Amino acid sequence: MKISAKTKTCLIIGDPVEHSLSPAMHNAGYLALGIDDQFVFLGAKVRVEDVGAAVQSMRKMGIHGLTCTIPHKVEVMKYLDEIDETARKIGAVNTVLNKNGKLIGFNTDWLGVVIPLEKITTLLDKKVLVLGAGGAARAVVFGLLKRGSKVSIFNRTKQKAIDLAKEFNCQEIDLNVESEISNFDIIINTTSVGMKPLENETPISTEFIHGRQIVFDTVYVPFETRFLKEAKKRGAKIINGIEMLLYQGTAQFEIYTGQKAPEEAMKRVLYEKN
């Protein structure tokens, strides 16, 4: 055991939080770099009404990093000293760094989508269909537009897609003609459809998905959703939600430690847990 009273603590807060893979992923990274005496990553269940108190504890106890997951990414913002421009534009914070007593909020979720996509394609001028208009969609839309993609948003509640498209200056689409799905280069599911208890559903029909498309599902439990399985059968390249978890995590690791994240070690632990 290398942990001592000098070790810096990072913490993921959420409700629920017990299922989170972030502690395993970050601790594997510390171990791989031999800095597991300097950093440790834990989890704490925090109710939404207690987020202010949790941030106050971070200040009082000198907690180094605070990772925020559902449902705290928006609520936490009002308790911070500074919010970086990207997180402000996305409207959510998933990473809080305690920099000599100053609490600074960041958002790395958008990198969780952009990095895995850019490993297999360029995003400039690509036609991308984003399914969903919630918190995850905001980070996804931001990242794609930053890279110059042409984004269309489809959502069950149409008005939310219209509002999001207006805010980010992109398109809303109603998909009344399902064959329009075939016109996109990339399709990204940011809805919770495919996750338990909706694991037997797909967010849209897969009938028009084809082999020249990339299909990305942000859902990571199950590891390969029905949507991804069907898209793969139709020849599309697929990317699962674990990849998003990994790359939002590597970016966050770098903010907390100031060191390049050991991607392979962090990836291994995520895939071992699935």
**Which window, 35-43, 49-57, 189-197, 228-236, contacts ligand NAP (CB under 6 A)?**
189-197
Q: How far apart are CA 52 and CA 76, in angstroms?
A: 7
CB-based contact 143:114 (threshold 8 Å): yes
Minimum distance from residue 60 beta carbon to ligand NAP (Å): 29
| Residue 59 engages ligand NAP in binding (rule: CB under 6 A) | no
| Residue 112 engages ligand NAP in binding (rule: CB under 6 A) | yes
| Residue 237 engages ligand NAP in binding (rule: CB under 6 A) | no
CB-based contact 106:87 (threshold 8 Å): yes
Sign of CA dihedral 46, 49, 55, 57: negative
Q: List the one residue from 135, 151, 164, 165 that touches ligand NAP (CB under 6 A).
A: 135
Q: How far apart are CA 206 and CA 65, in angstroms?
A: 40
Minimum distance from residue 11 beta carbon to ligand NAP (Å): 18
First to last CA, the chain: 26
Q: How far apart are CA 50 and CA 39, in angstroms?
A: 25
- Site track for ligand NAP across 155-184, x = CB under 6 A: xxx--x------------------------
Q: Cα–Cα distances in Å, from 131 out to 173, 174, 273?
A: 10, 11, 27
Of residues 55, 43, 1, the one with CA closest to residue 18: 43
Number of residues binding to ligand NAP, judged by CB under 6 A: 26
Minimum distance from residue 95 beta carbon to ligand NAP (Å): 13
Shortest-Cβ-distance residue relative to ligand NAP = 134
Minimum distance from residue 158 beta carbon to ligand NAP (Å): 8
Sign of CA dihedral 173, 167, 109, 71: negative
**Which window, 15-23, 27-35, 126-134, 250-258, contacts ligand NAP (CB under 6 A)?**
126-134
Active-site residue list: 73
Q: List the one residue from 25, 123, 130, 133 that touches ligand NAP (CB under 6 A).
A: 133
User: Contact positions toward ligand NAP, by CB under 6 A?
Assistant: 70, 109, 112, 132-137, 155-157, 160, 190-193, 195, 198, 218-220, 241, 244-245, 248
